[in-house]
Structure formats: C-alpha cells, structure tokens
Structure 1
Amino acid sequence: MSRQISSLLAIAAVCVTIAPAPAFAQTSPKKAPVDCSAVKCIALTFDDGPGQYAGTLLDTLKKYDAKATFFLEGQYAKSRPQYVKRMVAEGHELGNHSYRHPDFTKSSEATIKAEIQQTQDAVKKAAGVEPKLLRPPYGMTDVRVSEIAEQFGMPQILWTAGSEDWASKNVEAIQKQTLAVAKPNAIILMHDWVKQTVDGMPSLIKTLQHKGYHLVTVSDVIKEEKLEPGDAFPLPQGWEQ
C-alpha cells in the first residue's frame, strides 16, 4: 500500500481544482531530456480526447517543438486511433482518463476497474503502448479510487491550475488564464476538444517559450517526486503525506 493511502483514515471524495514515474520514454531521441530542476518547465495536459481537433493541435506542437500529455478517454482512443498512434510517435505522453468519463467516487469498484482496463486496451490497440498515469474523471478521487489505481500500478495525476477553456470557449480568455497560472513545473488542465484552445495554441506556445518555458510532459515535471502507484499529485485538499 502506498505511503499516502496508508496515512488516510476516512476521507470524503474531493473535487480537485488544481493535477509518476515516466509513462513512456517519450522525449525526442534527437535531444537530451529536459532537466526541469535546471530550467523553467511547464506541462500542458489535454483531457477527454483525442478530440476532433487533435490533428491540428499535434501539428502546432510539432511546429514549435513542444511536448504535451494527453489523458485519453478510451471511447475516443478507439474511434480516433490515428491520433493516439501519432501522439506516441511524436514524443508525447499518454494517460488514462477512463473510458466514458464517469465520476469514479460514485461508481462501483467493478465499474472503475472496467473503465480503466478498457481504456488501457484501446490505447494499446491503437498505439502499442499502455498508459502509466491515471487522471480520474473530474479530478474526483478518494481512498477507494486510490487503492484501485494502486492495483493498476498507476499514480494519479491531477493539476496545479486549469485554463478554464471548457467554460469560456474564448481564445483570448483561455490564453489570459493559462498565462496567469503559468509557473515553473505547473501542470495545466486543458482540452483538445475545445476548438478555441487549439486555435489559440500557436500564440500561447510562442508566448510561453518567449518567457523561457520548456513545454514538456508531466513525467518531466514530476520526475523528482518519486510517486508510488495510487499516489495523487498534486495532493487534493485535505489529504496528508
């Protein structure tokens, strides 16, 4: 049992407003891995995809030599396998975000396990790899969800701040919010199904890079955290080390 789970007694499900061991060795083979203890790093993470605009987003990331982490829903990994395959081929990191996005804290143990496993299977079929990170839907987790994540050998990755793209659906607002919460080793929640997020990404990436940020994967950012399966990072409010 992980060190976090064993320290929790009885804790209610928490809604996280803030997001492991490396999922894959997905830094470009042509470049040395980024050392986020020495340079400014930021991890942009995209939930619920691959969305219909994923191809355009991948084009932008490739153009600016930026990496990202995609927390995929199994149903879309199954229906859009070409994007999953391309994400891996281009050095991005993949995470498991359930199959149909139910609230795990309100789901049965059997349902949670099926949601995780079906997504693992869909991603593996699409790209030949299995995610090593779990982001529970809505960022909702508790002791039971953590124990199941531990059984799958997966840390839970939440976020330090969100772009609020799903709410605003406005390019300028998304850019402004993301830049406002950007800080070294931040993990930012975004969505590749939001067209305005994808539309505004070229300018946003250029601005972040101008500010000295390296756009990297989650695993690059949290490399020194030594997370164990079942651990949640960043810790939800009310959890103890």
Structure 2
Amino acid sequence: MVAILRVMSPTSAPSVALTFDDGPGPYTAGLLDTLDAHGARATFFDVGEMVAARPELARRQAGAGHEIGNHSWSHPRLTGLSERRLREEIDRTCAVIEQTTGSAPGLLRPPFGDHDERVRRAAGMPLIMWSVDPEDWRIKDTGHVTRAVLDAVRPGDVVLMHDIQPTTVAAVPEILQVLSGRGYRFVTVSELYRELQDEKPLRPGTAYDRPGGAPAGRAG
C-alpha cells in the first residue's frame, strides 16, 4: 500500500523536508555545521554499519534535533533477501541507532526505494520515499544538485540527497539560503507529515510517496 499525500502545508510558511541517505560519512560533520548555521532540521536515513563506524556523528545528528531513520545495515535490496536476512538488516540497524543515540528510529527508507508487501510487513514502521530527486548519486556535480533541487521544490516536498557525496554537501548552503529567501521552513520528515496529515500518525507497514516521486530502483 502506498499513501499519496497532497503537496500542501497548512502553516503560514511552506515546509520542506531535506533527507540525507547512506551516512554518516566523512562529509557529514560539515553538513551538520551548515544545517546548524541555518537553523535547519533534516532527516538522516543512516546505514547501520556506518553508524557503528562513526557513532559520534549519529550522536551529533540526534543531539542537534535532526531525525534519524533506518536505511538498513549494509544497504542491500531488501526485496531480494531471505526472511532472516531481511529482519537482520532492519533490526540490527534499529539496535545500533538506539544504542548510539538513546532512541530507536521510527521510520525506514529501504535502499534504492525497493519495497514489497514482505518488506513493508517486516519493517514494523512507516516507509518514507521522496518527491524530489536531484540524482546526486549519479550526477556528482554541485551546480547540478543545487539547480535540480531549487527548480523542483514545492511546499511539502521530501528531498532525497546523500551526505556521502561531497558535491551534495557543497550544494546545501546555497539550497538553504535560496529556499530560506523563499520563506521555507526546514523540518524533519515526521514534522512534515504531521503538518500534512493534520497530526494523524503515520501507519507502520505503509509506504508514503508523493506526487512526482521517483520510481523505485533509481536512487540509494
């Protein structure tokens, strides 16, 4: 089941959720500095083995008020795994994030956006997709990432980016500056959906997409 939400925000200022996948990595600290300088909150869909390797960055993400979601332990296509491996990828990541930050993740973004009924059932939490994809994993160019995001963003969007890409991290200051000038608020995914759904909770086992969302299998 995929829930489609209208791209509207009931608040006086438009909201957007910036999300970053695959970290924490060597460029995450610089990204956190940038977000802090702009008073922006984001959602990090962290990979479990990366959290284990850089626990101080996951703690810093949580301590700064950012949201941390589950992006599997080792970034495989979850739809191709055995039941045991599927559960291990999800549960092991939840455990390391909780042990590191003190809070278990409440959202899952499956690697590559791939999910099916079995993955949704195993997740035990809402699955979050995206509506803006600058393809920064493919086109590693700061100017491209900046233009692609600024040209596409509308109120209520979820933007997919990757903090393991230095060209993406370099694009974020201008993205924040321009969108701030347009009056945007930078909120976490959970905050955005609470606004869009008038405080109704997201449902475990449901995949949340958006109009114009990128098809599964295109991004990490």
The alignment's TM-score, normalised by the length of structure 1, stands at 0.81
Larger radius of gyration: 1
What stretches of structure 2 of length at least 5 have no aligned partner? 216-220
CA distance 1:127–1:237, change in 2 (3 Å): closer
**Are residue 142 (structure 1) and residue 142 (structure 2) matched?**
no
> Counterparts of 1:14-25 in structure 2 under 5 Å?
none
Paired position in structure 1 for 2:207: 232
Residues in 1 aligned to 2:52 and 2:134: alpha-carbon distance in whole angstroms: 26
Residues in 2 aligned to 1:61 and 1:237: alpha-carbon distance in whole angstroms: 25
CA deviation profile, 1:56-109 (whole Å, cap 9, x unmatched): 000000000000000000000000000100111100001000000110111111
**Are residue 37 (structure 1) and residue 17 (structure 2) matched?**
no
Cα drift, residue 163 of structure 1: 1.9
Amino acid at match of 1:37: P
Contact 2:120 2:206 in 1 (8 A): yes
Residues in 2 aligned to 1:99 and 1:134: alpha-carbon distance in whole angstroms: 11
Cα drift, residue 167 of structure 1: 1.0
Cα drift, residue 237 of structure 1: 9.3
Residues in 2 aligned to 1:183 and 1:112: alpha-carbon distance in whole angstroms: 34
Residue 159 of structure 2 aligns to a residue whose secondary structure is: strand
Residues in 2 aligned to 1:56 and 1:200: alpha-carbon distance in whole angstroms: 12
Paired position in structure 2 for 1:25: none
Contact 2:130 2:214 in 1 (8 A): no
Paired position in structure 2 for 1:187: 158
> Counterparts of 1:83-232 in structure 2 under 5 Å?
83-149=57-123, 152=124, 154-223=125-194, 224=197, 226-232=201-207
Paired position in structure 1 for 2:218: none
Cα drift, residue 157 of structure 1: 0.4
Amino acid at match of 1:67: R
Point out the more displaced range, 82-91 or 219-228. Answer: 219-228
Residue 226 of structure 1 aligns to a residue whose secondary structure is: coil
**Are residue 67 (structure 1) and residue 38 (structure 2) matched?**
no
Contact 2:132 2:214 in 1 (8 A): no
Aligned residues: CA RMSD: 2.0
Amino acid at match of 2:145: I
1:57 to 20, 28, 31: 31
Cα drift, residue 226 of structure 1: 3.4
Point out the more displaced range, 100-109 or 227-236. Answer: 227-236
CA distance 1:71–1:237, change in 2 (3 Å): closer
Residues in 2 aligned to 1:228 and 1:92: alpha-carbon distance in whole angstroms: 21
Residues in 1 aligned to 2:10 and 2:67: alpha-carbon distance in whole angstroms: 20
Paired position in structure 2 for 1:26: none
Residue 167 of structure 1 aligns to a residue whose secondary structure is: coil
Number of positions where the alignment pairs a residue of Structure 1 with one of Structure 2 = 204
Cα drift, residue 227 of structure 1: 2.1
Amino acid at match of 1:229: P
Residue 20 of structure 2 aligns to a residue whose secondary structure is: strand
Point out the more displaced range, 64-73 or 218-227. Answer: 218-227
